[in-house]
Structure 1
Amino acid sequence: MYLATATRPDISHAVSVLSQFNCCYGSDHWIAAKRVLRYLKKTRNYGLTFKKTGKRIVGYVDADWGANLDDRRSYTGYAFKFADSCISWESRKQRTVALSSTEAEYMALTEATKEAIYWRQFLKEISNDELPITLHCDNQGAMLLAKNPVFHAWTKHVDIRHHFVREALDENKISIRYLDTSNMPADDLTMALPNPKHMECAKCFGLGPDESKISK
C-alpha cells in the first residue's frame, strides 16, 4: 500500500482492487497478490525520476465504465505530472453506478478537478502562478458536459456535486483538452493492461530503472 500511494503509480490499480478483498480473500486473490510481488521484484530498481523541464503541472484523467462485474461501479484514475514525473495519482472505485461512459468520465473529471485546484493553489502560494491546470481527458462527451450545462437532457440525474467542474472551468482554474485513448497514461490506473501498454504508461508516469543501481 505504501508503494502504491507513495512511489509506484504502476501498481495502484492492482493494489486498489486487491484491497477490496482484505476480509474475504480466496486463492485467486493470493495468486494475484503474488503476481504483483513478482512484478515488484522484477522492477525493484524502478523509481520516479524528476528532471528540470520548465513544463507546468499537467493532469491525465480516465475512467473504466462498469469495470466491476459485481456491482458495476466504474473506476476513476488520474495522475498529475511535474518535472517529467508523477507527483500525484489515484485509482479508486466510484461511489455510485454510472449509467454511461460519459457519466463515468465526468465523475472522474470531478475528482481530478479537486486535485488540480489543490495544485493550482500550491503553485500560487510558492510562485504566484495562477494559470489554469490542464487536464487531459479521452471522452469528448464528458468534456462537452463540463463546458455546456444544457448538453443532453439525460444527464439531469447526475449528482450536483459533480457539476462544480463547470464552475472551475468558468473561473479559469482548470482547462480541459482531449487526448486520444491510445495515448492516455491514466488507463493504467483504471484497468489491467497488456504488458507493452502497461510499461508504456509506467514510462509516461516517469517510472524507470535507477541507472546507478544497474551499473552496480
Structure 2
Amino acid sequence: MTASSQTTTIHLVRHGQTLLNTTPIRFRGRRDVPLNRTGRKQATAAGLKLASEGISIVYSSPLGRAFEVGTAIATGSRLDDVVPLDDLVNLDYGRWEGLTNEESEAVDPAAWKAYKTDPRAAHCPGGESVIAAEDRVVRALTTIGERHPGETVAAVSHGVMLRLAVLGTVGQVTADWSFPISTGGSLVFEVTDGVVTFASKLDGDIRTDEALAGVSS
C-alpha cells in the first residue's frame, strides 16, 4: 500500500428470493426469473440496511432479480441509477439450468462431482467453467475498485458468484465451498491498489430475515 492508496469498500449483495429458490431448489443460471413476494421484501430490507453505509453508486448483474434489488438499494441511498455490469451475471449452468440437484447429477455425474468437491476443475455441461466465473466476479470487484477509489459501493449478484468471490480472494477450496449465503444477504470486500480482499464473515454482514418484520407486505 502506498501513501496515496485509497481503499474501496464493496458490499456484494445476493439478489432476493425467487420461485426457483424455493423447494425444490433449481439452478437459475441466466434465466431471468423475477423476485417473488419474499424476494421483494428482501430487496426493500437490503436497501434499508445499506442506507446508512454512505453508498456512492450501485452496480448490478443485468438480470432482473438482481437489478430489482439494486434499485431498492439505490432508492434507500437516494441514488438515481443502477449501473449494469456484465461480469456480475450468474454462472452459466448450461444443461443444468432449471434442474434440481438430483436432476443435474443425472445429466453428468462426473461434472456434478467436480462441481461439488473441486469447483476450480468443474465445467457446467454446455455452460461455463467455474474458474471462468470466479475470474469474472473478481474482475468485477477490481473494476469497481479502480473506478471508485476510496468510496463505498454496493454491487448485486448471485449466490454462487458471492461464493466464488470468496474463493477468488481467500484462495481456499474445500468440499463445503457452497457455504450458505441468504437471499438478500451480503459480504464485504475491499479493493486497494487493484488487490481485492475479503473483509467479512462467511455468514454475511447483512441477513435480511430479521429485518423483514419491519417491511410491509
Q: TM-score, normalised by structure 1?
A: 0.32
Structure with the largest fraction of helix:
1
